[in-house]
Structure 1
Amino acid sequence: MKTHLKTFAFCAALIGFTSCNANNKKPKLYAEHTVEHEIEKKKNDKEPNKQFIKVALLLDTSNSMDGLIDQAKAQLWDIVNELSYAKCGTNKPNLQIALYEYGNDNLNGDEGYIKQVLAFSDDLDDISKELFSLTTNGGEEYCGQVIQTSLNQLNWGKNPDDLKLIFIAGNEAFTQGKVNYQDATTNANEKDVTVNTIFCGNYRQGISSKWQAGAQLTKGDYMAIEQNTKTVHIASPYDDTILILNKKLNNTYVTYGSKGQRKMEMQAEQDKNAAGYSKANAVSRSVSKSSHLYKNKSWDLVDAEEMDEVVISDLTDDALPAELKGKSTEEIKGYIDIKRKEREDIQNEIQELNAKRKVYISKQKTEGNNGLENAMTNAIKAQAQKKNYTWK
């Protein structure tokens, strides 16, 4: 009888997990000291976090949208940084961003003047590169069709803990095109995707042209911004030190494979693109690079080994950088360990300085700054709470 009571009490203790916790922990029905438990524990410790924040950004690239594209380029890293503070239970969720452009005469009219610029990706350098490649030109803006296209083409997954969001920004009527926005948002609901609308112009005009209705059908947020407002970058006393640390951080990357050198050059190029807007924006990118969201397993041996992307002993000399050619497996692993420790120390230092920077900036900010950034981060936080995400 006592055994039955203990079993019942144990099972009852498992009830009441939040949605985030449900996928993070699996009950162990065997003793803590068994061999099986140790194997399972090591396996779970190695497993990556399963939760994702998936954001599809649908940007109108018609003639009048130069200001919107500039805001997206200038504010990407602040948005990424805000998302890096999210937690799902005890885990930090992964981030994937997809990018579409629509309403541009240079695009295929038979496909609704819509282009998938980038499918869901966690490669932040690729995301930055594609944003900076966008140009504007006049065209037809079919909101319903671009929403439906993103729902059809992207891998949204079926994890109920994932936060799946569409942000569509533009300034023409939401009702244009052959795909009814109500049908598109109904399909979004079926995929557990929330549609958020950002009207570039007068708030009331956005309501009358159905941008608010488009958001309400999925319980998303409707927002209106002035797209031609310049992004406000606030300098801080910590910026110069963070930028120096960023240069040191770049030196911890160890290229491998056919695209290693090219991706390292892209990393430097995106540093330069960020700095092109302001020193403060370059600092924001440096902070992003110090977070768990900035991973480069496809070309960096430090990330690749940690994430089990490669087996060091399988790499040939052709795949290695000059400093590791002819080295033994043990020597290569030792070198990677040194670089990993250097990187962790630098990232921790940047994060500590950024904590002070955030406090400083919060005291300098005024209401109404940075339309796209504020619109997106406020909506994401509000909708994340419904799935028990928290912000540290």
Structure 2
Amino acid sequence: MKILQKLGLLLLPTCLFWGGTGLSLVSAQGVKITIETGSNTTATVTSSDAKEPFTGQRPAVDVTILLDTSNSMDGLINQARNQLWNIVQEFAKAKKSGKTPLLRVSIFEYGNSRLPASEDYIRQVVPLTDDLDKVSEALFALSTSGGDEYCGSVITEAIKRLDWSSEPNAYKAIFIAGNEPFDQGPVDYRSACKKAIGDGVVVNTIHCGNYDQGVRGKWQEGAKLAEGKFLNINQDEKVVHIKTPHDKIIIELNAELNKTYLWYGSKSKRQSYATNQAMQDSNAGRGLSSRAAIKSSSLYRNVGRDLVDTYLEDASVVQELKDEELPEELRGLSVQERMSRIEEMAKRRAEIKQQLAEASKKRDAFALEQQRAAQPAAPGAITLGDAFSDAISEQLQESGFEVGE
């Protein structure tokens, strides 16, 4: 026991194994201690990386955004809408074992008086999904109304309701933004935050307003309890989109990219997918270049909706679909002919994505130069996107991801 105390391992969870030569203890952190029998008792410590190597198809990233939609939060909602694609770009920089993650995003709203008081003014807007157009659509459908903001309740519901990844070392995080005290409501925020981190979900708190007020309102303590970051933003700060000479070609390439999607399913579903993609392009407004950059990456995927993405993951879908579930251009064709058309479209899409990625890289470089040459931002001019960026890179690396520029 004294040996373990000297090694600082007394409090580690351990498993004990008795062998012919002594006692071995293996901690949950991957540290092995062997105590040999005999006159000279020794302890051997073998450390292994706590981050197990990823061996699956795509490493998991699950992110849930909890937005206060009470009366004073119109600015916050607008920032979320305008900066969604910039936030997603932070994840596009990450890889694990050379593989881009499968990003799923969920949205909850809380503190809105239109929501039932019996449910603590909480609503799950979107479950964890890789359909980023659905996330964007949901953000643009939000509206604010006065209410009571219960942070402990909404964190608890997010942990309970969502199908969080069970992959070892997945990056799982909650980002909760609001401006009222963190300790309001019937659910103790401390137990909610401890439950979250106990399930491997980090909680980052984003207080809209004065830093000291956020500390007094327990936003900092909530983040500490769940091993997240405490951040402050000005929810009314206007989001600035830098215009560049590369935007025109990016917009043109995005339009060409949209022509490569082969939506399938019932007629209403096909129309819905196509309409929503075009609508979210429109909603992106001056941020369309950021959205187009994401559409050129593997984070933007439409498996189960688009035949190209689905075929590349599971070619058998071509044989399983009924003729009426196919897009018009694939009807009346043999299975082999369908596959050839899909492969041609996949090749065309890959070419456009490559051009789009190159144009986006040039755009980012130009925008960065413009930012460096501009006047420094005023103190406190921090937006929701800035807060996400501040936390994501560091936390992804802690979850075993490599994060590039």
Question: Is 1:376 paired with 2:376?
Answer: no
Distance (whole Å) between structure 2 residues aligned to residue 386 and residue 364 of structure 1: 31
Q: Amino acid of the residue matched to residue 228 of structure 1?
A: D
Q: Amino acid of the residue matched to residue 297 of structure 2?
A: S
Report the secondary structure of 1:196's partner residue: strand
Distance (whole Å) between structure 2 residues aligned to residue 384 and residue 314 of structure 1: 38
- Alignment correspondent of 1:230: 238
Q: Which has the higher relative contact order, 1 or 2, with Cα contacts under 8 A spaced 6 or more apart? A: 1
CA contact (8 A) 2:54 2:96 kept: no
Report the secondary structure of 1:168's partner residue: strand
Report the secondary structure of 2:157's partner residue: helix
Report the secondary structure of 1:104's partner residue: coil
Q: Deviations over 1:61-119 (max 9, x none)?
A: 00000000000000000111121110113221111111000000000100100000011
Report the secondary structure of 2:191's partner residue: helix
Match of 2:183 among 175, 184, 204: 175
Q: What's the offset of the Cα at 1:158?
A: 2.5
Distance 1:234 1:192, change over 3 A: same
Q: What's the offset of the Cα at 1:370?
A: 5.5
Distance (whole Å) between structure 2 residues aligned to residue 221 and residue 203 of structure 1: 13
- Alignment correspondent of 1:335: 341
Report the secondary structure of 1:131's partner residue: helix
Q: What's the offset of the Cα at 1:315?
A: 2.1
Q: Which segments of 5 or more consecutive residues in structure 1 lack a partner in the other structure?
A: 1-14, 25-46
Distance (whole Å) between structure 1 residues aligned to residue 97 and residue 349 of structure 2: 26
Match of 2:278 among 249, 257, 268: 268
Distance (whole Å) between structure 1 residues aligned to residue 92 and residue 48 of structure 2: 23
Q: Which structure has the highest strand share of the two?
A: 2
Distance 1:186 1:302, change over 3 A: same
Distance 1:17 1:344, change over 3 A: farther
Report the secondary structure of 1:231's partner residue: coil
Count of residue pairs the alignment pairs up: 351
Distance (whole Å) between structure 2 residues aligned to residue 123 and residue 271 of structure 1: 14
Q: Deviations over 1:347-390 (max 9, x none)?
A: 01111111111111112225466611110121011112212212
Distance (whole Å) between structure 1 residues aligned to residue 151 and residue 277 of structure 2: 33
- Alignment correspondent of 1:205: 213
- Alignment correspondent of 2:255: 247
Question: Is 1:140 paired with 2:148?
Answer: yes
- Alignment correspondent of 2:402: 390
Question: Is 1:23 paired with 2:54?
Answer: yes
TM-score (norm 2): 0.84
- Alignment correspondent of 1:354: 360
Range with bigger deviation, 297-306 or 308-317: 308-317
Q: Which structure has the highest helix share of the two?
A: 1
Q: What's the offset of the Cα at 1:255?
A: 1.8
Match of 1:322 among 320, 325, 328: 328
Return the index of the structure with the highest Cα Rg.
Answer: 2
Match of 2:70 among 49, 62, 68: 62
Q: Amino acid of the residue matched to residue 379 of structure 1?
A: A
Match of 1:48 among 39, 57, 77: 57
Q: Amino acid of the residue matched to residue 384 of structure 1?
A: L
TM-score (norm 1): 0.86
Distance 1:121 1:309, change over 3 A: farther
Q: Amino acid of the residue matched to residue 206 of structure 1?
A: G
- Percent identity of the aligned residues? 43
Distance 1:88 1:139, change over 3 A: same
